[in-house]
Structure 1
Amino acid sequence: MDWNRVEGNWKQVKGKIKEQWGKLTDDDLDVIAGNRDQLEGKIQERYGKAKDDARRDVDDWYNSQTW
């Protein structure tokens, strides 16, 4: 599954995102709407992470999913 499919299935994926990053609000997830850059930015903001760390966290999460 590539990230485009994450965007297309965002409503289903939101729950998995929320399990991983509980500090993200429903409003955050609605604004992100599947956009990876926005997801990484919100993770940076909410968790105080560097850009590279947020990108790595999203990569690790994405690769650990059973799509």
Structure 2
Amino acid sequence: MINGLFVGDWSELEGEIRARWTKLTEEDIDLVRDDIKKLESIVQIRYELPEEESIAEVEEFHKVWTNRNFQ
């Protein structure tokens, strides 16, 4: 489980989040900002996923984002 924040250019990250989870609303994106836990919760709600699945999706997204932007 990842705790904390996404790091990097928010506008780029926001675009990536929008592309990955198209059901998220503008308000959802504003709530998330860079908080991983909030993103996990909102993905779970919007996509009606079990908690474990939404956590796994966001963790994988975070891993790819981090690797791409900080290596």
TM class, shorter-length? 0.7 to 0.9
**CA separation in 1, counterparts of 2:25 and 2:11?**
14
Structure 1: unaligned runs, 5 residues or longer = none
Kindly indicate whether structure 1 or structure 2 has the higher relative contact order, using CA contacts under 8 Å at least 6 residues apart: 2
Query: TM-score normalized by structure 1?
Result: 0.80
Question: RMSD of aligned C-alpha atoms?
Answer: 1.7
Identity of aligned residues (%): 25
State the shift of 1:44 in Å: 0.5
**CA separation in 2, counterparts of 1:32 and 1:60?**
17
Aligned 1:11-50 pairs, distance under 5 A: 11-50=11-50
Q: Pick the structure with more helix per residue.
A: 1
Structure 2: unaligned runs, 5 residues or longer = none
